[in-house]
Chain A
Amino acid sequence: MNSLLNIFWLGLKEIRSLISDKVMLLFVIYAFTMAVYIQATGTSNEVNNASIAFVDEDNSALSKELFNAFYPPRFQIPKKINAHEVETAMDKGQFMFVVVIPPQFESDLRAGRNPEIQINIDATAMQQASIGTNYIKNIINKRISNFLKRTDEKTTMPVNLIVRKLFNPNGVSSWFLSVVAIINQISLLTIVLTGAAVIREREHGTLEHLLVMPLTAFEIAMAKVWANGLVILIATAVSLFGVVEMALKVPFAGSHLLWFFGVILYLFFATALGIFLGTISRSMAQFALLIILVILMLMLLSGGSTPVESQPEWLQRLTFFLPSRHFVSFSQVIIYRGGGLNAVWSQFLMVSAMGLGFFIYSLALFRKSIAVTK
């Protein structure tokens, strides 16, 4: 009972300290509102304003028609270049795509000879290259069939493939990016807040003061967990309801309650990691350097920026121990696919286990760290 009270009072103190740190508070608010919005809408995986050039060796009505089929916002107005300029222009990075229409293209087409169009793709522009190529093919196919319709011939496909995207039918990238942005902010800010709180207390000597009082390391750490966790939890709720659901109109397919339960588990992990990092680094500056390495790892390997199954097998086995990966994964299941507890329990378990591990380990280090700082 006393122990619970201690945790409560210490946590309250923690929240008071945070509230008095206006700069940090503003940063938290910014990170969970504006920053989430900007990240969700600013970057896009879709092809946009792609640079394209044509080499028109046919000079027919059709080739001109094709040339005019590309326009903003998806593509820039195409440029006409000569065949020998292709390599250099692409080396300089002037164009992502160069479409080459061969001589006699229109007449070959009409004769049913299925002539070949060459598309040169700058394959170092990974995200846009393959999607862009498909757009180009689709646009050209459509134009050709419309062009021929006007005259005589007709094209039909033997199989009519209907591709339907589930959970996000229009492929709006902000749906996914907004949730990933929240997840990244949770990781970053929870760890920074908690770790900095530990280091600040140690540098100011208040931690020593607490450890001499009739308090256990568990109580001191637990207070930091709930206080910082609560602040981020509230920020997350504001961000989810206000920014993601209201401003960005992202539908939430599953149970809010279940997701927030998962968030709480992740917050436990993140605060524990923060305490751990705060305990092992000897100064704020070291903590700051350390955090850059840790955060980038948590963010980039979580599956939030690129799919987990694209990682090599051995790395996937390692990232299995990355709670952020499970967080991204169960968030997708709950938010987009509407999955229930039976679909996510194993991930919940993994996040809790990792959190517990860090928590216990930092407790063991807690008292020792006082010795290190002298």
Chain B
Amino acid sequence: MVSSAFRTSSIESPGKPVVSIKDVIHRYGKAVALNNISLDIPSGLMVGIIGPDGVGKSTIMALIAGSKTIQQGSVTVLDGDMADIKHRRVVCPKIAYMPQGLGKNLYLELSVYDNVAFMAQLFGLSKEEVPIRVKQLLEATGLGPFASRPAGKLSGGMKQKVGLCGALVHDPDLLILDEPTTGVDPLSRRQFWTLIDDIRASRPGMSVLISTAYMDEAQKWDWIVAMDAGRVLATGTPKELMKRTNAKDLEECFIGLLPEEKRRGHTELAIPPLTIEKSEIVIDAKGLTRRFGSFTAVDHVTLSIECGEIFGFLGSNGCGKSTTMKMLTGLLPSTEGTATLFGSSVEAGSMEVRKKLGYMTQAFSLYGELTVRQNLVLDALLYHIPKEKADTRIKELVEKFGLGPHLDSLADSLPMGLRQRLSLAVAVLHEPKILILDEPTSGVDPVARDSFWELLIDLSRKQGVTIFITTHFMNEGMRCDRISLMNSGKVLACDAPQKLIEERGATCLEDAFIAYMEDAIAESPSGGKGKDKAKGDASSVQQSGLSQTSSTPSSFQLKLMRMFAYVRNETMQILRDPVRLVFSFLGSALLMLVFGFGITTDVEHVRYAAYDLDQSPESRAYLEQFAGSPRYFTRTPEVRSSAEGLHRLQADDISVLLEIPPNFGRNFRRGNSPDILAQVDGAMTFRGETVAQYVQGVNDKMLQNPAMGLQTGAPKYTAQFQERYMYNPTFESVFAIVPSVPALLLVLIPAILMAVSIVREKELGSMINFYVTPTGKLEYLLGKQLPYIAIALLNFVILAIMARFVFGVPIKGSFLFLTLCTLLYVTTTTGIGMVISTFTSSQVAAVFVTAILTITPTVQFSGLLQPVSTLMGRARLFGTFWPTTYYMHSSVGAYTKGISAWLMMPDIIYLACCIPILWAISMLGLRKQEK
């Protein structure tokens, strides 16, 4: 509807459109991201989607790439319907998609080479092609020297290049890049665009679809789609659009295209010159340096900022801007150098200094769960502003910042621009003298950005507040009184922006910045070293490639290749993630100790005391029997009164008090069957019960055996009992508990690791690689599962070794069959983790849900504490289904009972049946597209 008016204004598109969108509506919960969009994108062009954050750019690109499910409307890409899975499967090798976020779909633990090679494998490049193609791409993008560096340790620009290599590895017809240059330094940005131009030159038919928040970049592109609030504002060539709005650049043009009510109140920003005469220096940093390990984040930064100045810090993500700020605010101690605010050091006794400081962190740093008013009031309270003063101040700020209508809404529910204003209001509430703002305007639309700057200018010029601001927008840099250009921890230049431009003879700040960066690179001695290393790498890769025979792989072989690509990928990730590695191996060993020693039903060394009122030979002989079983009873001094006895029972000093009444001996000799009172501590019920039975047991044994001191024969007409404690003749709980602990641990840990590994991909974004590559569900799941099965099997061996040498419980039965059973069991348990991962969406939820869902049935219903044969009703039913029941039987059987292999067969068969069922459920639950 909207677009039909504009379609005519689009330039003559050669042939069919590459993408055709009709009546698409997309919602996230209640929020509408795309509001009835129709759009035809001409093919063979460089097409830009422009607009601020949150207007639906990313959603539209994800729909086109096929990584998101279409909710309403139709999306046709490369002559096919993207709602149709068959078309997607055919077309996905022709589409390359790089999602938003620096290196979002990269595996940060893996090296640059491995990341690109992984994508190549998923797209079915043969073993010989992979190293050649990857090397080609890395050389072309200048990543050659860094092939072996982990992706997580690259700068933002380099990460984007790796992402691009991954996207280009299979020669796509449609390249979709979602904000590829956001947060990237200007030099890398320029290199990136040159690279894209080169690629387009070599593949003229390729269509490129790019979104960006930097409007100036889009100026040079062929065709523009301007978007706002889920709608298309206009389409056309940049020239056309600028002409239509009478604008001199795209940013102005965009504001001109916005609907009237959004533009209202927007005026060209005017910055009055800094009028304050040479005044005191408020921020002073000398040789500020910060190292993290061997990495130097900030390298000898020296600055001095005068009172009332707006000082800008310009640089890309990860160049050390935020770290410098943290050192200035005293959040981070510096490794070298000093920083002073108002002449005093920030670290020592800094309370007074901090009162004069206002700070706004990079992300929105207020409490989203509190309302606007609560956020403001909390801040006033923490700065101890008297109530009346605080009230007027808050009123004043609310008015000035336009927060009035939102006072009682939650901070989380505000749009980005308003949130930033609230943050600023909170930061200036206590009337600070210095305001430190860390990228306050990223993700804010141009209109809101200008109104934010108005507030800043007001603060600086009218109230004399010194403002220190970081940004990666060049046009914001132009608004500062002075700026520092920063790159990889170093300040390249520092002066008024206009002067910097003049000094380099450049046309704009960006060019000047690039010129400074190129100088810095030319000076730096590194570069040559890295290259040699990379060469060695590449040649070794080539060799391994040559040793393979070449043939065209069948579709089954392709599937297998993709599965093993995931296996390799997952294995390397775990090996390089110390926390998960420790959890998977040390965790089970530690828990084995805790469970093995913690769950024990042995009651031994029970402390008892006697209260002997008789003191006859008989009473002493009776008590002697207790002292004579040291495994069970430990004698403590006799008590002299029943009150003392009770007191000692109360204080947990003794657990049994044996009271022998007066005349016990005489009555015994006369056959009057005298009483003996045993008082047992029953606070802990199980233990009390057991102790009571020990007492009874000692008593009975003594009476049946005349040799034991009391002159009596066995009572007539009673049966005797022969107790045969099978499998565990000494009746020690280690023999029962230790073999069942692996059954518990081998469900808990593999299931958690498995669930986390899949949910982690969802959370961090690398799941997109599964959405947009031809990888099938089963290939993905098996590829993820195999490494964890291997880990679990290794765990089994570790636990068996511990059982043997720490607890002294060897395996009596067939080790081979138990191993087979374990293999099936851990395949099942990782399968359970897989199923859980289909319905959890955060790693935390995955951990807790898996823990709760696996521990309860395993402890309660599978025979760990209570034999399954004694369970009833639903518990019995659950125990019958839960795989641990079967493994528990085999494990306890093999360790303690030494049962024969054929008795393990039913367990093995049951577990083998579980596996395909779990696979099927996981495949049903796993989505091939994002919701």
Determine how close the nearest CB of chain A comes to the CB of B539; give it in whole angstroms: 36
Establish whether residues B870 and A117, one from each chain, have CB atoms under 8 Å apart when the complex forms: no
Number of A residues, CB within 8 Å of B: 124
Measured in the bound complex, the distance between the Cα atoms of B720 and A122 in whole Å is: 20
Complex formed: what's the CA distance from A18 to B494 in Å?
Answer: 46
Q: Do the beta carbons of A124 and B735 come within 8 Å of each other?
A: yes
Which of B364, B671, B752 is within 8 Å of A289, CB to CB? B752
Q: Which of A88-96, A229-237, A239-247, A349-357 contacts B (4 or more CB under 8 A)?
A: A88-96
B682 sits at the interface (CB 8 A): yes
Does B867 lie within 8 Å of A130, measured CB to CB?
Answer: no
Q: Is the CB of B731 within 8 A of A130?
A: yes
Assess the B331–A93 pair: CB atoms within 8 A: no
Give the complex CA separation of A212 and B361 in angstroms: 10
Closest chain A residue to B688, Cβ basis = A165
Residues from chain A with Cβ under 8 Å of B680 in the complex: 163-166
Judging by beta carbons under 8 Å apart, are B599 and A300 in contact? yes
Interface bits A106-127 vs B (CB < 8 Å: 1, else 0) = 0001101011111111111111
Contacts of B269 in A (CB 8 A): none
Chain A residues whose CB sits within 8 angstroms of the CB of B668 once the complex forms: 158-159
Question: How long is the Cα–Cα vector from A148 to B696 in the complex, in angstroms?
Answer: 23
B870 and A51 contact, CB distance less than 8 A: yes
Decide if A206 touches B722 in the complex (CB within 8 Å).
no
Q: Would you call B296 an interface residue if the criterion is a C-beta within 8 Å of the partner chain's C-beta atoms? A: no
A128-B870 in contact (CB<8A): yes
Measured CA separation A307–B323 after assembly (Å): 52
Q: Report the separation of the CA atoms of residues A301 and B381 in the bound assembly, to the nearest whole angstrom.
A: 44
CB-based contact A90/B715 at 8 Å: no
Within 8 Å CB of B362, what residues of A?
205
Q: How far is the CB of A13 from chain B (nearest CB, A)?
A: 5
Q: Is there contact, CB below 8 Å, between B678 and A163? A: yes
A371 an interface residue at 8 Å Cβ cutoff? Answer: yes
Asked if residues B579 and A286 are in contact (CB atoms below 8 Å), the reply is yes
Chain B residue contacts of A77, Cβ below 8 A? none
Inside 8 A of B690's CB, which chain A residues have their CB?
130-131
**A126 in contact with B737 given A17-B369, A312-B597 (CB within 8 Å):** yes
Within 8 A of B (CB), among A213-270: 213-215
Q: Is the beta-carbon distance between B650 and A126 smaller than 8 angstroms?
A: no
Interface residues of B in 657-705 (CB under 8 A from A): 668, 671, 673-690, 692-693, 695-697, 699, 703
Q: Hey, which chain A residues are within 8 Å of B587, CB to CB?
A: 289, 292-293
Cross-chain contact B684 with A141 (CB below 8 angstroms)? no
Q: Mark B794-823, 1 if CB is under 8 A from A, else 0.
A: 000000000000000000000000000000
Residue numbers in A under 8 Å from B718 (CB-CB): 114, 141, 144-145, 155
Contact across chains for A133 and B723 when beta carbons are under 8 A apart: yes
Establish whether residues A168 and B696, one from each chain, have CB atoms under 8 Å apart when the complex forms.
Answer: no
Measured CA separation A124–B743 after assembly (Å): 14
A306 to B899, CA, bound (A): 29
Cβ of B278 within 8 Å of any chain A Cβ, yes or no, is no
Residues of the B chain whose Cβ atoms lie less than 8 Å from the Cβ of A115: 719-720
Interface set, chain B 845-888, CB cutoff 8 A to A: 847-848, 851, 860, 863, 865-872
B685, A93: Cβ atoms closer than 8 Å? no
- Tell me the number of A-to-B contacts counted with CB atoms below 8 Å: 377
**Are B383 and A214 in touch, CB under 8 angstroms?**
yes
Taken together as a complex, chains A and B put the C-alpha atoms of A301 and B842 apart, in Å, by 30
- Most chain B beta-carbon neighbours within 10 Å: one of A176, A285, A293, A371: A285
Residues of B within 8 A of A213 (CB): 354, 359, 379, 382-383
**A171 touching B688, Cβ below 8 Å:** yes
Q: In the complex, A171 Cα to B688 Cα: how many Å?
A: 8
Q: Which one of B46-54, B66-74, B466-474, B602-610 is at the A interface?
A: B602-610
Known contacts A162-B678, A288-B843; is-contact A296 B331 (Cβ 8 Å):
no
Q: Which segment, of B9-17, B890-898, B919-927, faces chain A?
A: B890-898
How does the 8 Å CB contact mask read for A43-73 relative to B, with 1 for contact and 0 for none? 1011011110000000000000000000000
The contact of B365 among A50, A110, A206, by CB within 8 Å, is A206
Contact yes or no, B682 A301, CB < 8 A: no
Chain B residues within 8 Å of A20, by CB? 369-370, 410
CB distance from A130 to the nearest CB of B (A): 7
Complex contact B728–A124 (CB within 8 A)? yes
Query: Would you call B601 and A306 a contact (CB within 8 A)?
Result: yes
| B867 CB contact (under 8 Å) in A43, A96, A144, A337 | A96
When C-beta atoms are compared, the residue in chain A nearest to B843 turns out to be: A285
Interface centre among B354, B603, B716, B897 (most CB of A within 10 A): B716
A92 touches B723 (CB 8 A): no
Contact between B723 and A119, CB atoms less than 8 A apart: yes
Return B599 CB to nearest CB of chain A, in Å. 6
Closest to B634 in A: A309
A83 on the B face (CB < 8 A): no
User: Closest residue to B748 on the A side, CB-wise?
Assistant: A292
* With A123-B728, A173-B685, A292-B752 as contacts: A161 and B365 at CB distance below 8 Å: no
The one of B382, B384, B606, B651 that contacts A333, using a Cβ cutoff of 8 Å: B651
Interface residues of A in 341-374 (CB under 8 A from B): 343, 367, 370-371, 374
Any chain B CB within 8 A of the CB of A157? yes
Q: Does A21 contact B (CB under 8 A)?
A: yes
Which residue of chain A has the shortest Cβ distance to B366 in the bound complex?
Answer: A206
Smallest CB separation, A155 vs chain B (Å): 5
A284 at interface (Cβ–Cβ under 8 A)?
yes
A87 to B636 CA separation, bound complex (whole angstroms): 43
Q: Which residues of A contact B604 (CB under 8 A)?
A: 309-310
Contact status A94-B332, CB under 8 Å: no
A24 to chain B, nearest CB (A): 11
Partner of B721, one of A92, A119, A166: A119
Residues of A within 8 A of B590 (CB): 293, 297
Q: Are A306 and B599 in contact (CB under 8 A)?
A: yes
In whole angstroms, how far apart are the Cα atoms of A158 and B712 in the complex? 8
With A127-B601, A310-B600, A315-B597 as contacts: A134 and B716 at CB distance below 8 Å: no
Instruction: Say whether A163 contacts B686, CB under 8 Å.
Output: no
Q: Please, which residues of chain B bring their CB within 8 A of the CB of A123?
A: 725-729, 731, 735-736
In the complex, A311 Cα to B734 Cα: how many Å? 11
Contact A176 B889 (CB under 8 A): no
**Distance in Å: Cβ of B874 to nearest Cβ of chain A:** 11
Query: B330 within 8 Å of A by Cβ?
Result: yes
Contact A130 B693 (CB under 8 A): yes
Contact with A along B891-913 (1 / 0, CB 8 A): 01100110110010000000000
Q: Report if A116-B598 is in contact (Cβ < 8 Å); known contacts: A130-B731, A160-B673.
A: no
Determine if B28 is an interface residue (Cβ-Cβ < 8 Å).
no
* Cβ–Cβ < 8 Å partners of A42 in chain B: 860
Bound CA–CA A90/B868 (angstroms): 13
Kindly provide the distance from the CB of B715 to the nearest chain A CB, expressed in whole angstroms: 6
Q: Is the CB of A9 within 8 A of B729?
A: no
- Which residues of the partner chain B approach A109 to less than 8 Å between Cβ atoms? 717, 719
B375 CB, min distance to chain A CBs, angstroms: 9
Q: Say which residue of A49, A114, A211 sits within 8 Å of B719 (CB atoms).
A: A114
B754 on interface, CB distance cutoff 8 Å: no
Judging by beta carbons under 8 Å apart, are B719 and A140 in contact? yes
Residues of A near B598 (CB, < 8 A) are 297, 300-301, 305-306, 311
Query: Contact flags (1/0) for A1-15 with B, using CB distance below 8 Å?
Result: 010011001100100
Residues of B within 8 A of A131 (CB): 689-690, 693
Q: A16-B374, A137-B721, A284-B844 are in contact. Are A166 and B679 (CB under 8 A)?
A: yes
Decide if B556 is an interface residue (CB 8 Å cutoff): no
Residues A112 and B717 in contact, CB atoms below 8 Å apart? yes
Instruction: Please report the C-alpha to C-alpha distance between residue A49 and residue B869 in the assembled complex, in whole angstroms.
Output: 8
| Other-chain contact of A16, B370, B671, B674 (Cβ < 8 Å) | B370
Complex: how many Å from CA A229 to CA B426?
28
With both chains docked as a complex, state the minimum distance between the C-beta of B475 and any C-beta of chain A, in angstroms: 25
A172 touches B685 (CB 8 A): yes
- Name 8 interchain pairs, CB-CB below 8 A, sorted by A: A51-B867, A124-B892, A125-B866, A157-B703, A167-B683, A204-B364, A296-B591, A309-B605
Nearest 6 A/B pairs, CB to CB:
A300-B598, A165-B682, A123-B728, A285-B843, A288-B847, A205-B365
If A126-B733, A171-B688 are given as contacts, then 5 extra A-B residue pairs at C-beta distance below 8 Å, sorted by A number, are A21-B369, A122-B726, A125-B866, A130-B693, A370-B332
